[in-house]
Structure 1
Amino acid sequence: MRAVTIRQPWATLIALGEKRFETRSWATKHRGAIAIHAGKAVDKKACAHPAIKTILSKHGYSTPNDLPIGAVIATGVLMDCWQSFIQEAQVVLESAGRIKNITAFEESLGDYTEGRYAWELDQMNILQKPIPAKGYLSLWNWEESIEGN
């Protein structure tokens, strides 16, 4: 299964289904199953943001130290890869001639600078127990049977 490493708290927000787009400087042609790997870095400033702190608390994460790191924490589906642009002072996403608007809340959870890419993630299944794994840059292959042993 393809996997992507994401810093905390963003990885957990995606796993919980609270964040639907992961923004990157590069596009991907991959569509389909994807594992969400929580990297070892935690953005503590982001964790302290009131909206993010509220969401995490609602799901039982009281402090940044409660967030899993260095592990695959969820699986889901990478639905599409959208490119962002600004239209009338609003972020708009485009893919294959289709246009999608995002909420202000979703916009606050990513870097939607014009020309960046938003990976649309859906059907998240948070794992009961995170599976320790070494993360990598870019998309990488994760084999649960190997990493889980």
Structure 2
Amino acid sequence: MRGLTVRQPWAWAIAADLKPIENRSWATRHRGEIAIHAGQCWDEAGARDWRIMEAAKSEEPLEPDERFVFGAIVAVADLVDVTREASSPWAEPGQVHWLLANVRPLAEPVPCRGWQNVWQVPADVEALVRAQLGLTA
């Protein structure tokens, strides 16, 4: 299983199946299953982003609270395409849009160290994620 580290509150929005696009400055050839890893950092700009505030049903910028897990895999999604032509409020101009579908949030996030780029999820962590989702290796 491959993983992608995403800062909070963006990872929360993906895991809640509210944000179907992850924006990156680079593309990947990977398609298929990808673990969404919530990184250790809080993105202040993301907390003030109108899309995040709307998704959270908040009129104020978000603050870290119990909704936001750090340093763990929080969901598994299918990376179905990578394009510069996505038409969505979540698609940032000038970025590469990673289109996500079939998001499966984890009831119990699995602690794990994250890395830059697309990375290989350690076998022991993958086993815990797959067991929780009722998937086989």
CA–CA distance in structure 1, aligned partners of residues 102 and 47 of structure 2: 24
Q: Which residue of 1 aligns with 2:132?
A: none
- Taking only aligned residues, the RMSD between alpha carbons, in angstroms, comes to 2.1
Indicate the SS of the match to 1:140.
strand
Q: Which residue of 1 aligns with 2:90?
A: 106
Q: Which residue of 1 aligns with 2:29?
A: 29
Change (3 A) 1:141 1:52: same
CA–CA distance in structure 1, aligned partners of residues 118 and 50 of structure 2: 31
CA–CA distance in structure 1, aligned partners of residues 51 and 103 of structure 2: 21
Computing the radius of gyration from Cα coordinates, the structure with the larger value is: 1
Q: Which residue of 2 aligns with 1:97?
A: none
Change (3 A) 1:142 1:46: same
The answer to whether the 8 A contact 2:110-2:125 is kept is: no
Counterpart AA for 1:5: T
Structure 2 segments unaligned to the other structure (5+ residues): 129-137
Percent identity, please: 34
Aligned residues: 123
The answer to whether the 8 A contact 1:23-1:112 is kept is: no
Q: CA deviation at 1:50?
A: 4.7
CA–CA distance in structure 2, aligned partners of residues 49 and 146 of structure 1: 31
The answer to whether the 8 A contact 2:4-2:37 is kept is: yes
Q: TM-score, normalised by structure 2?
A: 0.79
Q: TM-score, normalised by structure 1?
A: 0.73
